[in-house]
Amino acid sequence: MADRAWYFAANGQQQGPYGEAQFRDFVARGAITAQTLVWTEGMAGWQKASEIPGLMAGASNPPSVQQAGQPPVAAGDGGYGNALSADLPLWGLLGRSLLYVIGVFLIVPAPWVATAFYRWFVSRIYVPGRRSLSFTGQVGDIWWVFVLMGLASYVGVYNSKLQLIVNVLEAFLSWMVLRWVIGNLAWRGEKLPISFEGNIWIYIGWNILLGISFITIIGWAWVTTAWTRWICRNISGTRREIVFNASGLDVLWRTLVMAIGCAFVIPIPWVIRWYAQWYVSQFSLVPHDAV
């Protein structure tokens, strides 16, 4: 496999060319997994990395070379990169989600139930190379944000004329929560040096665009996908790039399935867990120079 330029699939697009040395470095660091689709000159089509003899075994690295041909266009690669995963107990997720909603509805307990929920949820997420995370946020950090969230939900219901103002306020509050959650992620008891640097006005703009997109019936799924990728690009301090792999179509049909399942009431715990675990699995960590 020496003296070849390599390509691999990421988010439905081809990445490369990469010299042999750099390509094998991606393999060694886990950016290319056994399920990642790869291609090099002489191959009839894209194949999983595990199907290439000697590739995943970590053969020696020969010198890198220039591009030696253009590969055919690849289909999406669901196994690209180091994907996050979540182990969410069925009834634990349902119970804590309900407690969160009730706590915000009652306003006063909102800071306590929200903090407990994020602490539990983060502990169930597994990150390649770090395993489980922890959450160090405290009730007193942004307690007023959760109180305002509860109050805003009442204002929006009882006074429709203030709905736009409420929407902007809720966008600001969710921006605060996002910064708080990301800024309090920890591993082995040590807070990670990461933060969310997304501009508040751009974040509010995405929120407004999402609301407008519902007019198109299905456009909200693509707006949600683009918004999530913007959020990932604005997380700083990570050694590896955070990417969101799902497409708008993926988000659309899975959200519809979840909504239909919830409409029948009984399947609610199962469809919520299915959707939450799938959503988490769409986030991957890859080397900064691989995206």
Of 31-40, 65-74, 114-123, which gets the smallest average pLDDT? 65-74
| Distance separating alpha carbons of residues 177 and 227, to the nearest angstrom | 16
pLDDT at 159 exceeding the cut of 60:
yes
pLDDT of residue 65: 36
| pLDDT tier for residue 130 given thresholds of 50, 70 and 90 | low
pLDDT at 191 exceeding the cut of 50:
yes
| pLDDT tier for residue 75 given thresholds of 50, 70 and 90 | very low
pLDDT at 148 exceeding the cut of 70:
yes
| pLDDT tier for residue 72 given thresholds of 50, 70 and 90 | very low
| pLDDT tier for residue 22 given thresholds of 50, 70 and 90 | confident
Mean pLDDT of 165-177: 95
**Is the peptide bond prior to 109 cis by the omega test (within 30 degrees of 0)?**
no
Q: What is the pTM (predicted TM-score) of this model?
A: 0.73
| pLDDT tier for residue 57 given thresholds of 50, 70 and 90 | low
Residue type, 169: L
- Residue 31 zone, left/alpha/beta (φ > 0; ψ -120 to 50; rest): alpha
Which residues are bridge partners to 88 per DSSP? none
